[in-house]
A and B are shown apart, each in its own frame.
Chain A
Amino acid sequence: MGMQAFLDIFDIYLLEAVINGILLGGVLALLALGLNLIFGVIDVTWICYAELVMIGMYAMYFMVQYYGVSYFVSAPLTILLVAVLGAALHYLVIAPLLTAPPINQLLATGGVLFVLQSFATVAFGIDFRNLGIRLPVLAFGDMNFSYARLLSFVAALVGMVAVYLFMTRTFTGTAIRAISQDRQIMALMGVDTKRIYLITSALGGALAGLAACLLVLQYDVHPFVGLSFGPITFLICVLGGLGNFIGGFIAAFLFAEIISLGGLFSDLEWGYVLAFAFFIVMMFIRPAGLLARRR
């Protein structure tokens, strides 16, 4: 292959990778939003967040593939299921630990990570499963985009806009934002913090559920699938600043681009490594997060 031919192909692939990165960024932004929401309001990090997504993916798989329920009926049910799981996680694990040091809450969710992974192993086995839905590939010029990615991107955006509207237009949403600003005073103002925490956890769960519905279109589900996008979500949240929604949004697209472009040169895993290296460098430049003001 001549150098010129190589460059021609490279350019098309490059553009395709850039656009695929943006599409991937949508789902990552959705996950970061869920984690940031929970951190911002309850001051807890769910390190089992990606495992909630994994359970949601299994729910989709069994409803669609095993029981033959339509995808568009299964999706809301899955979102509801993971929302309930999120609320249960808060009620059973986080609530008894609210006054404990924050790190204990985090480690307890680490225990839940073990529980969810091994539950999936015990209940569903370690086989890779997929929906078996083959969505068409969209050809645009010489570039190919998977319809599943496009759909995920749009749905993720819709989900984020819905959360934005909920947070700004409803009383509960306003209360959630108020609590994230001052945890103590809102209780004195007559806001039921327990209820708000439960609602926030359910909302965080619902976002994980939505992400599950979208990811199951593109990836096989297995008990350890959470490990392939959990770490990257944490890096996004740290880089964007925990609890900072806009920072998380921007960081999600930055990371998605790095992963997608890194994957262009070799395996996807190297994209992750590149993203981690980028993260370390960013820590030196903006240690308090992407959008943080310098102290």
Chain B
Amino acid sequence: MTGQGRLAAWGIGLAALVALPFVYRDPYHLHILVLILIWSFAYTSWSMMGRFGLVSLGHGGFMGIGAYVTALLWNHLGLSPWIGIPISMAAAGALAMIVGYPCFRFRITGHYFVLVTLALSGIVLQVITATRDYTGGSLGYTPNRATGNKLLALQFDDKITWYLIALAVWLFGIVVWHWVDRSMARYALEAISEDEDAAAAAGVDVTAEKLKITLLSALMTALAGAIYCQYQMFITPDTVSGIAVSLQMVFAAIVGGLFVSLGPTVGAIITILLAETLRIGFGTKAVGWDNLVYGVLLVLFIIFLPKGILGSLLDRLKPQRKVSRAHEQEAVQIARPGA
């Protein structure tokens, strides 16, 4: 596809997406679409780091901070989400820096990095549970209903508004993904993911590059958490934070395809439709079944289709386009610690 053709396809696709809720108004289907868009944005945020071999299982923590800080500031201080969301993003970003800096500075990579970030999301979950006097603990938390200006409170009753907000946020994620994809940082990070020492020798500031992409990824993930909270108006530690949410992000990104911009979106479509189908199919007995299927699929995907559905599909469609880069051969490749 030529550059212009590609742009035209995006334009038509977007116009169709914007027009959709005005033509088709089934509230249940719109609800599913909003969820898909919000989670797509979260998964895209994760894949910003993930595609460069920075496998973080701490993103559940960032998402939880985004959701809870925004809601807590609104309920306790009456601070509008318009101010609360930037504060919650800053909090998540600060945490990402505190954990990321020593990790990157002291070359904590591979298994070590995964385990440290895994513990991070576990700890955020523990904190939310421990501060149950404020956060409601594992019973969940509801932002107060706005009495005054709905726009100021970022609370809307109709699905169409939420659909358009979610669409804008999702589009923002895709644009940022492409922006990184075309930046110098991408080449630096690819070099780092293939050989950290060689990249450093070639003049790449390894710590700074990793920190930048981690910060960006954490900020976006916190935003996803805040938007999710504003839309659902109910959050629990298990749905927006913790290890399970982190793993869910990795899973969806891998299923869809890590190395293409729409991969995480495809992953979100597949996983959410799967969960919904199972939920409806099993009724109330569905508790647990959807995750059971998730887990089995994740294992199967990693073993048999490490490039994901969209990634493998694109490869098959245009085999002559390019020789895939070495780091794209597998789902994620990172330097072994000490290697």
Spell out A's residues near B (CB within 8 Å).
39, 45, 47, 93, 96-97, 100-104, 106-108, 110-122, 126, 223-224, 227-228, 230-232, 234-235, 237-238, 242, 266-267, 269-270, 272-273, 276, 279-280, 283-284, 287-288
Spell out B's residues near A (CB within 8 Å).
53, 55, 57, 98-99, 102-103, 105-108, 110-112, 114-116, 118-120, 122-123, 125-127, 129-130, 238, 242-244, 247, 250-251, 254, 287-292, 294-299, 302-303, 306, 330-334, 336-337
Instruction: Find chain A residues with CB under 8 A from B238 CB.
Output: 224
Instruction: Find chain B residues with CB under 8 A from A126 CB.
Output: 287
Main secondary structure of the interface of A (DSSP, over half): helix
Q: Which residue of A lies closest to B98 (CB)?
A: A280
Checking B99, B105, B115, B302 against A107 with a beta-carbon cut-off of 8 angstroms, the contacting residue is B302
Judge whether A45 and B111 touch: CB under 8 Å. Answer: yes
Judge whether B302 and A231 touch: CB under 8 Å. Answer: no
Judge whether A287 and B107 touch: CB under 8 Å. Answer: yes
Interface centre among A103, A266, A270 (most CB of B within 10 A): A103
Checking A122, A272, A284 against B287 with a beta-carbon cut-off of 8 angstroms, the contacting residue is A122
Judge whether B295 and A114 touch: CB under 8 Å. Answer: yes
Judge whether A104 and B330 touch: CB under 8 Å. Answer: yes
Judge whether B303 and A101 touch: CB under 8 Å. Answer: no
Main secondary structure of the interface of B (DSSP, over half): helix
Judge whether A231 and B288 touch: CB under 8 Å. Answer: no
> A-B contact count, CB below 8 Å?
177
User: What separation, in Å, do the CA atoms of A286 and B333 have in the docked complex?
Assistant: 26
Q: Which residue of A lies closest to B286 (CB)?
A: A122
Judge whether B126 and A111 touch: CB under 8 Å. Answer: no
Checking A39, A115, A270 against B111 with a beta-carbon cut-off of 8 angstroms, the contacting residue is A39
User: What separation, in Å, do the CA atoms of A45 and B242 have in the docked complex?
Assistant: 19
Q: Which residue of A lies closest to B128 (CB)?
A: A269
Judge whether B298 and A122 touch: CB under 8 Å. Answer: no
Interface centre among A101, A115, A237, A279 (most CB of B within 10 A): A101
User: What separation, in Å, do the CA atoms of A196 and B216 have in the docked complex?
Assistant: 44
11 contacts between A and B (CB under 8 A): A45-B115, A96-B303, A97-B303, A102-B110, A110-B251, A116-B295, A228-B126, A237-B115, A273-B123, A273-B126, A283-B106
Question: Known interface pairs A107-B302, A121-B287, A269-B127. Does A231 touch B243 (Cβ–Cβ under 8 Å)?
Answer: yes
